[in-house]
Amino acid sequence: YEVVILPALQNFPSGDVVADTTRINALLEKHIRQAPEQYLWVHRRFKTCPPGESSFYSN
């Protein structure tokens, strides 16, 4: 196993929830793209949907 510890984010949280969420999602995406086989793809993060919306998952 290899553990990579990155430096702390600067100016985080910034107080702007949308900007902070966008930033974290971009960082996660960057690291998942580096080794997608390591990501826990079977985890169903979004367990519920808003009324009238279809599921994110095929089954």
pTM: 0.63
* Confidence class for position 59, pLDDT limits 50, 70, 90: low
Give the DSSP letter string of 3-57: ---PPPPTT-S-S-HHHHHHHHHHHHHHHHHH-GGGS-TT--------TTPPPSS
pLDDT over 90, % of the chain: 44
